[in-house]
Amino acid sequence: MRSRSLHRAPQTSEAARCRAKLLVAIWTFAVVVRLILIDQPYVDHWSWRQSDVAAIARNFFEYGFRFGYPQIDWAGGSAGYVGTEFPILPFLAAICYKFAGIHEWIGRSQSVIFFAISLPFFFLLVREIFDGTTAIWATFFYAFAPLNIFAGRSFMPDVPSLSLGIIGLYFFLRWLRDLKMTPFYLAAIAISLSILIKVTSIVIAAPILYILVERLCQMPGVSQKRPTMYRGIALFAAITLLPAAVWYWHAHQIAERFYPHHFFGAGGVRLESFSWYWDIAQQTATSSLTPILAILALIGLCGAPVAHFLNRKFLRALQSWPCRSCLQVHLQFWPSCTYDLFMNHQPHNFAMLV
C-alpha cells in the first residue's frame, strides 16, 4: 500500500502540472479570440443594447459624471434620464474616454477583462465540485462556446455580471468548507455586484440555496456550527440583496420622473408562446452551443437520472461528463422580455449551476 501511494504522488503532481498548462493555453486562446476586431463599431446582432450602453458612457463623459442619472440619446429634446442597471461599466468607460478618447474597444474590452479574470475561477469551481479533468473539459467548452465568445466581447453587462457570479459562487463554496470570513466577504461582494450590474443574475440564488440546504442537512442537529451558519446566511443575504434593492428602487424613481419613462428590463418575467421557446431551442442547439456540444450536454443532462436507477457508478461517470453544465440550467432561466435579450443571457445558463 505504501509503495502504491508513493508511485501515485508523482503521477498526481504531474497531472496537476499538465492541467495547469492546459488551463493557461485555454485562457490565452480564449482571450485572443475575443480580441479579434475588438475595435469593431456596435453594428453586430445586439447593436441596440450596446449602443444604449455606449450612449450612456458618452453622456457621462460629455455632460458630467452624474452616476445616478444615466442618459440615453433617443428622448428627443428632454434630458433622457432612464432607469438602468447599476451603471458602473459605462461610468468606467467614460473615465477611460478622458484619457484615450471615445473608442469602441474601450467598452468591448470590459467584457474581455471580466471574462479573463473569471475563467480560472470557473475552473476552480468545477474542480471543487467534480475533479481536475472534468474542470479542464468544462472550461474548454465554456470558453469557446460561440455565444459566449460573441457576448464576451460586447459592450453589455451580461458577461461582467456572469463573471462576478462565478467568482462569488466559488468563494461561497470556500466559505462553506472553511467557515473563514475572507471568502465570505469576497463571495458576498462579488454576487452583490453581479446582481447590481444585471438583476436577472439573481437566479444564482437557486444553486446557493441548494448548497446551503445540503450543507445544513449534513450537520448534526446539535452542531455548534449551526448558529454561526445562520448568522452568516443572514449577513450574506443583506450584503448581496440590500444594495440591489436600493439601486433598483432609485432607478425606478428615475424612470417615473423623467421622459421617456423607460426602465431597462421593464418587460419582466412572463410566459411566451411555444414557438418562442422552440425558436430558442433551435438556436441553442445550432449557433449558440453547436450541435456537438448540445448533444453531449443532453446526454449528460438526461442520462444521469436514468443511470441513477441502473448503476450508481455509471451515474457518477455521467455527472462528471464535461458538458453536463451546458444545458443543466438552460431550462431554469427564462427572465427576458424579448428574444434577443434572452439569447444574450445564455452564457449565464451555461455556467451558473455547473
Q: What is the pLDDT of residues 35-77, one digit of tens each?
A: 999 999 999 888 999 999 999 999 999 999 999 999 999 988 8
pLDDT of residue 208: 92
> Does residue 22 belong to any structural domain of this protein?
no
- For residues 110 and 54, the answer to whether their CB atoms sit within 8 Å is no
> Does residue 25 belong to any structural domain of this protein?
no
> Does residue 14 belong to any structural domain of this protein?
no
Q: How far apart are CA 190 and CA 301, in angstroms?
A: 28
The residue among 94, 91, 103, 99 whose CA lies nearest residue 61 is: 94
> Does residue 12 belong to any structural domain of this protein?
no
The neighbour count for residue 254, using CB atoms within 10 Å, is 18
Show the domain range for 108: 37-351
For 168, 226, 237, the CA distances from 215, given in Å and listed in that order, are 17, 10, 17
> Does residue 26 belong to any structural domain of this protein?
no
User: Model's pTM, two decimal places?
Assistant: 0.83
Place of cell 469593431: 40
pLDDT of residue 18: 92
Q: How far apart are CA 131 and CA 234, in angstroms?
A: 31
- Tens of pLDDT, residue by residue over 185-201, are 999 999 999 999 999 89
> Does residue 31 belong to any structural domain of this protein?
no
Residues of the chain with pLDDT under 70: 1-11, 220-225, 267-269, 300-301, 303-354
- When divided into structural domains, the chain yields a total of 1
> Does residue 81 belong to any structural domain of this protein?
yes
pLDDT of residue 342: 43
> Does residue 7 belong to any structural domain of this protein?
no
